[in-house]
Chain A
Amino acid sequence: MKISTEYLDGRLTVYLAGELDHHGARKTVESISEAIDAKLPRDLTLDMSHLGFMDSSGIAVIVRTYRKIREAGGRMYIENPQPQPLKVLDASGIDRMIPIAAKREVTT
């Protein structure tokens, strides 16, 4: 699991790469949380272009990040999930809380 961030004009983009499961979930939450505390962004985008796999542990990571950014009055977006993570996102119904800008084809 690799996490990198980019900050520009009030928007923090978090790039997730690899596989997000319970094993890497805690570190992922901590890394995102530290980036939010450091940059205090208005908006946060989770870019999933290079996330090849995600299970429900990823949903918990997203919900915790969403709560943190909402508490600070910000908005959150999910972009470019690949088919398998998108199917898990769809099953969770999380798009009722967070807009998903999905390329509904393989992006790799």
Chain B
Amino acid sequence: MKVTNYIKLEFPSCSSNESFARAAAAGFAAQLDPTLEELGDIKTAVSEAVTNCIVHAYPDSIGKITMRLRIIDGEKLEITIKDRGRGIEDVQQAMLPMYTTGGEERSGMGFTIMESFMDKLKVKSSGSKGTSVTMLRTIKQRKSPL
């Protein structure tokens, strides 16, 4: 496993940063020459993970979110989004489709979408140390038409 490039961003859990985070991830991923569909998948997964931090980790306060992106072996994008807020009590339950503790403003589809739009999804959470979501997506290298 060789990391050829990376970025690390830290931003407060303001909802206005949702669009910034997904645009930043798409900008970094662009070096892998993804298709529009692949870029859309990356933006969607990042948006879901960052929204979870804002809604569930820091429900009543503004806290820090860190996003690390790494290019691995020249073709894989690894996205890690971490918070230091309120953890998830039961990760398995939280990942069930339609399960939400966010009331009618949430659909409960966030983890389902992350899982189906990415190749791998790993969620680690503890009550006091927050949550870390790591996603991996291979960007198929296309042959040049020339």
Interface residues in A60-91 by Cβ distance below 8 A to B read 60, 63-64, 83-84, 87-88, 91
Chain A residue with the shortest CB-CB distance to B39: A84
Please tell me if the beta carbons of A88 and B37 are within 8 angstroms of each other in the complex: no
Question: Contacts A19-B19, A87-B40, A91-B109: A55 and B51 contacting too (C-beta < 8 A)?
Answer: yes
How many angstroms between the C-alpha atoms of A90 and B6 in the bound complex? 32
Instruction: Tally A residues with Cβ within 8 Å of B.
Output: 21
Please tell me if the beta carbons of A91 and B112 are within 8 angstroms of each other in the complex: yes
CB distance from B18 to the nearest CB of A (A): 5
User: Which applies to chain A's interface (DSSP): helix, strand, loop or mixed?
Assistant: helix
Chain B residue with the shortest CB-CB distance to A106: B36
How many angstroms between the C-alpha atoms of A53 and B18 in the bound complex? 12
Please tell me if the beta carbons of B48 and A55 are within 8 angstroms of each other in the complex: yes
Please tell me if the beta carbons of A84 and B107 are within 8 angstroms of each other in the complex: no
Please tell me if the beta carbons of A83 and B36 are within 8 angstroms of each other in the complex: yes
Please tell me if the beta carbons of B106 and A60 are within 8 angstroms of each other in the complex: yes
Q: Does B80 touch A at the CB level, under 8 Å? A: no
| Residue from A21, A64, A83, A92 in contact with B18 in the complex, judged by beta carbons closer than 8 Å | A21
- Which B residues are closer than 8 A to A by beta carbons? 15-16, 18-19, 22, 36-37, 40-41, 43-44, 47-48, 51, 54-55, 104-110, 112-113, 116-117
